Amino acid sequence: MKIQFLGAAIAPNARLVARFVNQDALPADLEPVLAEGAKRARFSGKAGQVFEGFAERGGNVVRAALAGIGEASGKDRKGAIERAGANVVAKYLTSGETALTLDLTGAGLTAEEAAGALLGAVLRSWRHDVYRTKLGADAKPSVTEISVVGAPEGTEAAWEIEQAIGQGVSFTRELVTEPANIIYPESFVERCKARMAGTGLTIRVLDDKDMAALGMGSLLGVAQGSIRPARILVMEWLGGVEGEKPVAFVGKGVTFDTGGISIKPAAGMEDMKWDMGGAGAVAGTMLALALRGAKANVIGVCGLVENMPDGNAQRPGDVVTSMSGQTIEVINTDAEGRLVLCDALTWVQREYSPAKVIDLATLTGAIILSLAHEYAGLFSNNDALAAELNAAGDASGDRLWRMPMGSAYDKMIDSPIADIKNVGPRSGGSITAAQFLLRFIENDTPWAHLDIAGTVWTDKAGATWDKGATGFGVRLLDRFVRDTLEA
């Protein structure tokens, strides 16, 4: 979506114009036909409302929309404005109109709020139609540009930051949406290299031989049933104080998860292409940080494998040795994400000695039973870090809910023949998964685990996304960086 700023004047040939309206405050200069139409349609400017009418301006018939942004002192003012931008685009994206003029005159927005409206519009316009060869003309996106008039001073500068976030979210959605025959460990790496070229990010890659030399028996055990070799992708962004310890983001990247020998039911297995949603979020975040030139030191690590059942696949009951030296009894090969993450966590701690570590993973179905699709689960060994992430979640809209941890749960994953087993009983499944990961955190490093299984994909449209990949995690991590590393 192309965004351009036109100052205060609407182009005389504008065919589609949308205007933001505060609750109970219809603009006094609105044409009588639009004002009367809005009143009769019971449009009052409440957040989420959109009214459409037609008016004659300068001899042209203009398609005019009014988008409600709620009360000027509303609790979620920023979110309401962002959703208004998204609502307008959702309504007109396939309307046949090619350009949208967004008139912010008189809405009383700050530059940050105006940029947020544009971010909402751009995010809601995202589609992945690469493989659709017979899409009807009336179903194809037609709006390709947004012209902004009446924007408050500073909006263009604020948009430079937000558009970087938009690109990061869009890249995450792209990775998560692609099918597993297109995105697998090697091609995930190549897609990231191509997209991140020229951004200032430093890319490192560990192949399966490198990982074997490092003793990553846990991660490699997951990958051994697939013809696709495992990879670890490392993205370095050192935009902060030289020599200052970085923060590490670690993502689970199971590019397809059959469950391995503990194979999943056939129904719905196609969804497991998005079991790399944590890695996708880390890659999108690193792209966003680089594009906006974040003044922070951040390391992004993606552990990339494909979990397949063949004659060489690991079996339930196998014992593997992790990079940390701890041995793991593999009770269920479908609990593979934690086996990937534990070696990635060990490696990043020993390689970079990060000040904080945050991992993201579509780890358990149990978190969906607990939180549905409204929140991601937050587990942490550090109250301050948990509070920072909760605040970032509330501010960004990628919401988190802190879950308990403790020794009572830890005992549930003790193994009778190894140091640890990879699953406990059915109850508390998301908690025991987090307890498993905690055993691989060294030197009391502040750590948080985000179980995002319920939030990376949706079967219904949301505020700023259509059905499918949401891009969850990018805005959360970017806000965390802004508030804790750049503040």
Q: In Å, how far are 226, 332, 412, 427, 481 from 319, measured between CA atoms?
A: 19, 11, 18, 23, 38
| pLDDT tens column, 194-241 | 999 999 999 999 999 999 999 999 999 999 999 999 999 999 999 999
CB contact set of 160 (below 8 Å; sequence gap of 6+): 292
Alpha carbons 387 and 448: distance in angstroms, whole number: 11
Annotated catalytic, 264?
Answer: yes
Alpha carbons 253 and 250: distance in angstroms, whole number: 9
3-state secondary structure 244-297: CCCEEEEEEEEEEECCCCCCCCCCCHHHHHHCCHHHHHHHHHHHHHHHCCCCCE
User: Does this model's pTM top 0.95?
Assistant: yes
Q: Name residue, tokens 């494998």.
A: 305
Joined tokens for residue 248: 């590490």
Alpha carbons 64 and 209: distance in angstroms, whole number: 61
pLDDT of residue 341: 98
Joined tokens for residue 108: 């009383």
Q: What share of the chain is helix, strand, coil (3-state, %, to 5)?
A: 35, 20, 45
Joined tokens for residue 386: 């948990």
Q: How long a stretch of residues is the chain?
A: 487
Rg of the chain (C-alpha set): 24
Tell me the CATH class for 163-484: alpha beta
CB contact set of 12 (below 8 Å; sequence gap of 6+): 58, 60
- Asked whether the CA dihedral 278, 284, 290, 296 is positive or negative, the reply is negative
Q: Name residue, tokens 């924007």.
A: 151
The catalytic position among 63, 195, 264, 402 is 264
pLDDT of residue 205: 98
β-strand 247-257 against 231-238: which pairing, if any?
Answer: unpaired
Q: Is the pLDDT of residue 108 over 80?
A: yes
pLDDT of residue 7: 85
Rounding to the nearest 10 degrees, give the CA dihedral for residues 148, 153, 155, 158: 170
β-strand 327-329 against 319-321: which pairing, if any?
Answer: antiparallel
Average pLDDT over residues 375-383: 98
| pLDDT tens column, 145-174 | 999 999 999 999 999 999 999 999 999 999
Contact between residue 424 and residue 412 where contact means Cβ atoms under 8 Å apart:
yes
The CATH topology of domain 2-152 is Leucine Aminopeptidase, subunit E; domain 1 (3.40.220)
Q: Name residue, tokens 């590019």.
A: 255
Contact between residue 482 and residue 291 where contact means Cβ atoms under 8 Å apart:
no
pLDDT band at 327 (very low <50, low <70, confident <90, very high): very high
Average pLDDT over residues 308-329: 98
The catalytic position among 292, 338, 356, 482 is 338
- Per-chain mean pLDDT for the chain: 96
Alpha carbons 194 and 175: distance in angstroms, whole number: 13
| pLDDT tens column, 387-445 | 999 999 999 999 999 999 999 999 999 999 999 999 999 999 999 999 999 999 999 99
Q: Name residue, tokens 């809910």.
A: 401
Query: In terms of C-beta density within 10 A (0-12 exposed, 13-18 middle, 19 or more buried), how is residue 173 classed?
Result: buried
- HSE (CB half, 13 Å, CA atoms) of 230? 30
pLDDT band at 8 (very low <50, low <70, confident <90, very high): confident
β-sheet bridge partners, residue 468: 458
Closest CA to 116 of 171, 157, 158, 169: 158
Q: Do domains 2-152 and 163-484 have the same CATH topology?
A: no
Q: Is the pLDDT of residue 74 over 80?
A: no
**Structural domain boundaries in the chain:** 2-152, 163-484
Annotated catalytic, 338?
Answer: yes
Joined tokens for residue 426: 């059915």
Alpha carbons 80 and 47: distance in angstroms, whole number: 6
